């Protein structure tokens, strides 16, 4: 694939194995335009009532959450931020513990920068994987539901239940 050629597909299909994460260091193939050490992107629909039951691990990156639709609450040690109108956002980090609850089914775009692999994580930029293992990079078929982005341990689903995390 020509490095400047357009890459297209469907984010929901391309990110099924990674809970919505579709751009970042964890995408295989250095020539893959979705592989990046600069930024991570997540497009994810959270079910009504979905709650992260523990604080997220501290990471050395800044995070921006933008509500596309729904009602989503980000929890921090000293406050809660309600994203209730389309376009509401919150920026936080690096190192800020957080959790969430989805008041309604909510579509949230998450941008995280830079894209930093956790210590000892498999699947760094350029490693072989289902998406981008071709050294020439992906083509438009790489973003179909039969070629998922490899799972990433930091983004694995936490045990989700209705119990809010204890404040640190």
CATH number of domain containing 90: 2.60.120.10
Who has greater pLDDT, 5 or 158? 5
In a domain, 132, yes or no: yes
Are 45 and 102 contained in the same domain?
A: yes
Q: How confident is the model at residue 153 (pLDDT cuts 50, 70, 90)?
A: very low
Query: What integer pLDDT is reported at residue 27 of this predicted model?
Result: 86
Structural domain including 86 reads 41-113
Who has greater pLDDT, 135 or 46? 46
In a domain, 103, yes or no: yes
Which residues, in sequence order, are CB contacts of 120 under 8 Å at separation 6+?
Answer: none
Are 94 and 57 contained in the same domain?
A: yes
Are 14 and 76 contained in the same domain?
A: no
Closest C-alpha to 109, from 90, 95, 124, 93: 90
The total of structural domains in the chain comes to 2
Which residues, in sequence order, are CB contacts of 161 under 8 Å at separation 6+?
Answer: 51, 53
Average pLDDT of 108-126?
Answer: 77
Query: What integer pLDDT is reported at residue 97 of this predicted model?
Result: 95
In a domain, 108, yes or no: yes
Q: How confident is the model at residue 137 (pLDDT cuts 50, 70, 90)?
A: very low
Query: What integer pLDDT is reported at residue 29 of this predicted model?
Result: 81
Query: What integer pLDDT is reported at residue 136 of this predicted model?
Result: 29
Query: What integer pLDDT is reported at residue 120 of this predicted model?
Result: 60
Please state the length of the chain.
168
Query: What integer pLDDT is reported at residue 26 of this predicted model?
Result: 87
- List strand residue ranges (DSSP E) for the chain, in order: 21-23, 40-46, 62-69, 72-76, 79-83, 89-92, 99-102, 106-113
Q: How confident is the model at residue 166 (pLDDT cuts 50, 70, 90)?
A: low
Are 101 and 79 contained in the same domain?
A: yes
pTM over cut 0.75: no
Statement: residue 159 has pLDDT above 60: no
Are 20 and 60 contained in the same domain?
A: no
Are 105 and 125 contained in the same domain?
A: no
Query: What integer pLDDT is reported at residue 72 of this predicted model?
Result: 98
Average pLDDT of 102-112?
Answer: 98
pLDDT tens digits, residue range 47-77? Answer: 999 999 899 988 899 999 999 999 999 999 9
Q: How confident is the model at residue 118 (pLDDT cuts 50, 70, 90)?
A: confident
């Amino acid at each position: 694939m020509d490095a400047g050629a357009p890459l297209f597909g469907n984010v929901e299909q391309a990110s099924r194995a990674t809970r919505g994460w579709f751009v970042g260091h964890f995408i295989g193939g250095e020539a893959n335009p979705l592989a990046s050490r600069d930024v991570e992107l997540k497009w994810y629909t959270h079910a009504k009532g979905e709650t992260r039951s523990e604080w997220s691990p501290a990471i050395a990156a800044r995070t921006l959450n933008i509500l596309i639709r729904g009602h989503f609450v980000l929890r921090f040690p000293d406050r809660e931020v309600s994203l209730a109108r389309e376009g509401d956002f919150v920026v936080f980090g690096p190192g800020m513990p957080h959790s969430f609850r989805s008041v309604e089914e909510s579509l949230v775009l998450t941008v995280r920068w830079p894209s930093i692999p956790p210590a000892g994580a498999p699947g760094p930029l350029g490693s072989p994987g289902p998406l981008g293992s071709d050294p020439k990079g992906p083509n438009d078929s790489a973003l179909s539901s039969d070629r998922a982005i490899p799972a990433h341990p930091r983004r694995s689903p936490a045990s989700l239940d209705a119990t809010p995390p204890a404040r640190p």
